Amino acid sequence: METPSQDSESTPESIQSSNAGQRLAFAQQELRLISALVLLIGMGLFLALPFVLSIGSVVFLPLTTAIVLTIILSPLADKLASWGIPNVLASLIALLTLFAVLLLALALILQPAVDLFDSAPAMAAKVGERFSEFQKEFAWLALANEQLSKLMGQSGAREVVLASPSVIQQVAFATPSLLIEVLLTFLMTFFMIESRVRLRRHLLFDRASFGTSIKAARVMREVQDRVAAYILTVAWINGCVGIVVALGAWALGVEAPIMWGGLAALLNFLPYIGPLLMTALLSLFGLGTADTLLLGLIPAAAYLGMHTVEANVVTPSILGARFTMSPVMILIALSYFSWIWGVFGALLSVPILLMLTAFFDHVGRPNLVGFVFGEPLFPADRIGLSSGEGSSDEPAA
């Protein structure tokens, strides 16, 4: 009787290996289609969220602010609770500490600002004189523009001036809404801090698997540690910046040095935009109070030099690589949340970016550029598919 050939013996194994490869290829195609749909939905949400969040800012802005404040104040409440203080009282003390710091900062800044407000017309007139001097030096540009307009056949256009509410009327209209949002923010912050222990237990012990609970615990701890450590570290750095600016303003004889130090500390929380605004304010104030142009620009130049050293040497060495973020991502977050919520959105942009960064570090960052060229949207170890998964069906050599 003739024995079966070697090819006939390997036929079932090759068929099994071929079927496993086809299943893997189909799973990869299906996963790529699902990833494309998820990516399109995410892009749609990214473009639609600003309109939803801006229209519902009365609800979403206090909620987002309360979440950020809860992450910042929860370590303090945990520390107080470890000393035997009841949870409700520890949460209230943490919130009152933040409230006291805010009141102190406003008192240090607003009171000198009110005193300087009386001299604002004189400073504005002096700045106008400076600009008139510049206009005289570059009067030939105005003449050239006028001649060009005549050659182009353009006549003087009629200006239409629309009446707008005064500053007092705008403040009067905005005050009730602002008070309601502040009250909602502090109330939600208190209840979130007070319920933090129950929330942690719910996230950890109400999961279907132990691995999911561990991942949720790591994400929650990383988000809290990263955001709280960043805010506290930056607050210390900005406080030192404020002290240096106040001492420099006092040494240069600038009025209200404490106010300028407080402004420098607060504006330094806004990356890139805050220092530029501080430089512009010092320039306007210097030009409006100094006798010469050179003396008027000295405070702004001194602040700009100090900020250059702080931003490029001091802050990176203290924060380290853990808090290093792409400047492009910071600017995108600033523009995105400023578009939605204005100044408050700009202040919340970096903490929100930190929260998202910590979350994606554990869940996995999408490979957007590689996905366009055929790569998976997420790494293979997070997807659960790899080229070696079908090897278990193959016989050992």
- The predicted model gives 327-332 an average pLDDT of 82
Alpha carbons 293 and 360: distance in angstroms, whole number: 50
Q: Identify the pLDDT of residue 210.
A: 67
Helix 273-289 with 120-137: angle, nearest 10 deg: 90
Binned at pLDDT 50, 70 and 90, residue 257 comes out as confident
Mean pLDDT of 377-388: 51
Would you say residue 364 lies in a domain? yes
Residue 298 lies in a domain: yes
Question: Among candidates 354, 350, 314, 93, which has minimal Cα distance to 225?
Answer: 354
Which pLDDT value is given to residue 93? 92
The average pLDDT across 23-50 equals 76
Structure tokens at 8: 């006939």
More confident residue, 161 or 318: 318
Residue pair 320/157 in contact (Cβ under 8 Å)? The answer is: no
Note the helical H segments in the chain.
Answer: 6-55, 57-82, 87-117, 120-137, 139-151, 167-194, 196-205, 210-251, 257-267, 273-289, 293-309, 315-319, 327-341, 343-363, 368-372, 380-383
Amino acid sitting at position 140: W
Does the pLDDT of residue 58 top 50, yes or no?
yes
DSSP assignment letter at 393 = G
Summarised one tens digit per residue, pLDDT across range 366-380 is 766 666 666 676 665
The rounded distance, in Å, linking the Cα atoms of 292 and 269 is 32
The whole-model pTM stands at 0.67
Backbone conformation region of residue 256, classed left if phi is above 0, alpha if psi is from -120 to 50, else beta: left
| pLDDT band at residue 354 under the 50/70/90 scheme | confident
Residue 156 DSSP code: P
Residues 175 and 230 both lie in one domain? no
Handedness of CA 189, 193, 194, 198 (dihedral sign): positive
Tokens representing 92? 């209230």
The predicted pLDDT at position 96 comes to 92
Per-residue pLDDT reduced to its tens digit, 71-82? 888 888 888 888
Q: Is 147 inside a domain boundary?
A: no
178 and 319 share one domain: no
In a domain, 20, yes or no: no
Cβ-contact 349, 336 below 8 angstroms: yes
The whole-number pLDDT of residue 392 equals: 41
Banded model confidence at residue 391, pLDDT cuts 50, 70, 90: very low
User: Does the structure show a pLDDT above 70 at 57?
Assistant: yes
266 and 185 fall within a common domain: no
Residue 43 inside a domain? The answer is no
CA distance 302 to 282: 10
Six-digit token string for 100:
């006291």
| CA–CA distance, 304 with 268 (Å, rounded to integer) | 12
- Token pair for 77: 């409440």
373 lies in which domain range?
223-379
- 341 and 299 in a single domain? The answer is yes
Residues 294, 319 within the same domain: yes
- CA 342 remoteness from chain centre: 12
Q: Quote the pLDDT of residue 129.
A: 66
- Centroid of chain to Cα 93: 27
pLDDT grade for 167, boundaries at 50, 70 and 90: very low
The count of domains in the chain is 2
Mean pLDDT of 310-337: 78
In-domain check, residue 292: yes
pLDDT, one tens digit per residue, over 281-303 is 888 787 777 777 777 788 888 88
In which band, very low, low, confident or very high, does the pLDDT at 48 lie, cut at 50, 70 and 90?
Answer: confident
Least confident range from 60-69, 89-98, 122-131: namely 122-131
Question: Do residue 109 and residue 248 come from a single domain?
Answer: no
Q: Among 93-102, 249-258, 381-390, where is mean pLDDT lowest?
A: 381-390
Residue 29 in any domain: the answer is no
